[in-house]
Amino acid sequence: MTEPLAPTDAAPATAAHKQSAAPDAQTLSELDDFSRAWHAKMYGSRATVQARLFCYLPFVLPLLHAYPKAAALDLRCGQGEWLETLSDTGFTAQGVDEDAALVAHCQHLGFQAQAKAALLALQACADQSYALISGFGLAEALPFQTLKQVVQESLRVLKPGGLLILQAVNPENIVVSSNQGFLDPTRRQPIPRALLAFVPEHAGFAQTKAIPLNEQFSLAVQQPVSLLNVLQDVSPLYAVIAQKSSDGLSAPLTIKAFDYDYGLSLETLASLFDQQIETKIQDAAASAARAEAALAAIHGSFMWRVTRPIRWTEQQVEQLQEDGVGTRVVAFVEKMHRLLVRQVLARVTGRRGFSRVQRYLEKVSHQQALVVAQRHALLAEQRKIPLDPAIIQQAYQTRERIETLSPEAQEIYQRLQQVGSTQRSNPAPQVDVPAAQPGLAVDQSKAAANSSVQPRS
């Protein structure tokens, strides 16, 4: 983090940089072979990459009105996609990159490019020589001090009303910032939107806007938001676009694009997601309420009552099929028997001369009640879950210890509690030695062995 990237050529470097010159150069070229292939694989074809850059056109086109064939400087131009877009638009684009091979590639494509460190390239520029300075992924590749200097120099180098564009990976996008953002091995660390936006503001740019970009997800289309959307569909990139004040120009260079809102933030997606869930819950509750109301209406309706015999017959048929004829007949007979006993008992109770009958009937009715109760109890029994008695005994033992404290035990408990509170207010230095460290224990054991050899007197 602390060592800056060294320049690849013999540009004047401070003493601190000199030491790391040779090895870094080698490392860089190795890396870039790799990163080129990786870049191609991960970011897609040239056309795809360029398509992503079109979102900047609303910002940069007004510059051409003020400065026809304006000069544009792309720091870290890479494979030159932005250079191409700029030239097609009408800018005179020049590129700077530290990787000589990439620079050669750009030159081969017909653009002007230099292999230089970004800061050095800027320092070599004249005041107010460019209308547009851009750095895609530059902010993350540079140490922060260097970044600040770059921004400062840009302010000097830009023409009045000129733009500085810095693009970076949006840390707000959880998936990108943790995973995909580091597809580029030279990227050092994510830089938050607020911080990057503050740098040009502090440097003295007149207008600064931080814009989330490049989201795939569109709110315009009313699609449901899934959790994955919340995690990965927040704008993956953002750009800080800063405009130098137009002092010195005849007419102020206004760029309308600054006035609009862009991008999809994490808060928006997350709250959409929550709202969705809320709505689903409410819908479910509402439909449940409706179903209950409908059911109540049905149960209260005349037709339901009228069809009771039919339903009863159906149920009986079902039970008959399930239990068999024999069981049903027996159940029926039992039921009739119970009814009969109850009726006769009601008539006979209290009448003289029928005491014996009454006693007999009472006995019978008790037995019947017991049989019915037992049947219910058996059903209930079947649902019981057998528990290991040892566990129950253990649980009881612990409960008994805790809930039946004798007065002496209460005192001891309070004493231990007080200790707790005094320890909390004056925490003693916690010596958190693990149970025993091998060497320590053996030494101590040897020491103890020696002491235990002496006879105790």
Partner 1 sequence: MKIVVDLQGAQNESRHRGIGRYALAFVKALIRNKGPHEVVVLLSDLFPESLAYAQDALGEQRTHCTIKIWSGIGPTDLRKPENHWRKDVSELMREAYIADLNPDVLIISSLLDSPGDNTIVSVSKLAPVYTVAMLYDLIPLLYKSEYLVDPTTQAWYYERLWQFKKADFWYAISESSRNDGIAQLGLPAAQVHNISAALGEDIVAVDLNAEQAAALKQKFGITRPFLLYSGAFDPRKNIDRLVHAYAAQHAEIRQVHQLVLAGGLNAPQLVHVNQLITAAGLDASQVIVTQRITDHELCALYGLCKAYILPTYCEGFGFTALEAMACGAPTIGSNYSSVPEVIGLPEALFDPFSVESIASKITQVLSDEAYRAMLFAHGPKQVQTFSWDHTACKALEALERLERDGVLRAKARSVVQPIASLGLSTVPQTSAPLSAHSRPQSKPPTAVALVTEITARIAAFAQTSQRPAVELQETASLVAGFLPRQDTRPRLFVDITELHATDSKSGIQRVVRSVIQHLLTDADAAYKVELVYAAKPLGYKTAVAFTRRMFGDGHLLNSTWGGRAADSNEGSDALSGNAAIGQDAYIHPRRGDIFLGLDLHFNIDQDHEHFFAQARRAGAHVYFVVYDLLPLLLKDTFTPELVEKYGNWLRVVSQQHGAVCISQAVAAELKAWVAQNQPAVAQSFDIDWFHLGADIESSIPSKGMPDDGSNLLQQLAAQPSFLAVGTLEPRKRHGQMLDAFEQLWAQNVAANLIIVGKPGWLTEALTTRLSAHPQLGRQLFWVQTASDEYLEKIYAAASCLIAASEAEGFGLPLIEAARHGLPIIARDIPVFREVAQEHVLYFAGDEGAALATVVQSWLALAKQQKTPDSRHIQRQTWAQSAQQLLSSVISAKDVTKIA
Binding site for partner 1 (CB under 8 A): 349-350, 355, 358, 362-363, 366-367, 369-370, 373, 390, 392-394, 396-413, 415-417, 419-421, 423-424, 428, 430-438, 441-442, 444-446, 448-449, 451-453, 455-457
Nearest distance from C-beta of residue 421 to partner 1, angstroms: 7
Helix (H, G, I), strand (E, B) or coil at 455: coil
Nearest distance from C-beta of residue 375 to partner 1, angstroms: 13
Of residues 331 and 370, the one with the C-beta less far from partner 1: 370
Q: Tokens 């900047």 belong to which residue?
A: 56
For the chain, the maximum distance between any two Cα atoms, rounded to a whole number of angstroms, is: 132
Of residues 326 and 455, the one with the C-beta less far from partner 1: 455
Nearest distance from C-beta of residue 414 to partner 1, angstroms: 8
Distance CA(263)–CA(446), nearest Å, equals: 70
Of residues 315 and 445, the one with the C-beta less far from partner 1: 445
Distance CA(136)–CA(146), nearest Å, equals: 15
Give the distance, in angstroms, between the CA of residue 137 and the centroid of all CA atoms in the same chain. Answer: 24
Of residues 126 and 433, the one with the C-beta less far from partner 1: 433
* Residues composing the chain: 457
Nearest distance from C-beta of residue 333 to partner 1, angstroms: 22
Contact call for residues 348 and 354 (beta carbons, < 8 A): yes
Distance CA(29)–CA(99), nearest Å, equals: 7
Of residues 293 and 412, the one with the C-beta less far from partner 1: 412
Nearest distance from C-beta of residue 334 to partner 1, angstroms: 17
User: Please, what's the b/e burial string for 350-359 (b: 16 or more CB within 10 A of its CB; e: otherwise)?
Assistant: eeeebeeebe
Of residues 189 and 422, the one with the C-beta less far from partner 1: 422
Nearest distance from C-beta of residue 285 to partner 1, angstroms: 38
Of residues 47 and 416, the one with the C-beta less far from partner 1: 416
Nearest distance from C-beta of residue 441 to partner 1, angstroms: 4
CA distances from 69 to 76, 114, 134, 250 (A): 21, 20, 16, 18
Q: Tokens 């180098």 belong to which residue?
A: 157
DSSP-derived secondary structure for 435-451: S--HHHHHHHHHHHHHH
Q: Could you give the residue ranges of the DSSP H alpha helices within 248-307?
A: 266-300, 302-306
